[in-house]
Amino acid sequence: MIQTIWSKEPDAKSLQPKTPKKISQTQFSQRGDRIQCCYINRTAQFQIVRISSASSDFLERAVLPRTRLLFEADLDDYLEIHTGNPICSILSDKIPCHRLAHRKDHTP
C-alpha cells in the first residue's frame, strides 16, 4: 500500500499542475557541439528514425512518407533509418548527422 504524507495541508495553488519551463531554441542550440538537422523521407513508406548518442540523448520518431523531420543532434551522432512495418523493419541506412545539418547552421 502506498501512503502519501503531507507536511502541511495542501492548498489549491499547490495542487495545480506546474507548467514545464520552456527552453528557447537558441538556449538549447548552444549546448556543446549540437547542430540542427533535417531529414526528409523521400520514399512512399513509413520510416522509423533513431538516434542513440553518447551524451545519453535518445530520439525515435515515425516519419510519414514525403515529410521532413527537424531535430538536434551532436556532430558525431548517426541517424538510423528503419524501413518497413513496426513488426519487421529493416535498418536501411545510417547517416552521419553532420551530413544532415540544416542550412541555417552552415557558415558561408
The C-alpha atoms of residue 4 and residue 18 are separated, in whole angstroms, by 19
* Residues 66-78 pLDDT 10s: 999 999 999 889 9
Reported as half-sphere exposure (CB side, CA atoms, 13 A), residue 26 has a value of 0
State mean pLDDT over 94-104. 87
The C-alpha atoms of residue 58 and residue 66 are separated, in whole angstroms, by 23
The C-alpha atoms of residue 18 and residue 49 are separated, in whole angstroms, by 31
pLDDT grade, residue 84 (50/70/90)? Answer: confident
Q: Whole-number mean pLDDT of the chain?
A: 73
Point out which residues pair with 51 in neighbouring strands: 59
* pTM of this structure: 0.62
* Residues 13-52 pLDDT 10s: 544 444 433 333 433 445 567 899 999 999 999 999 999 7
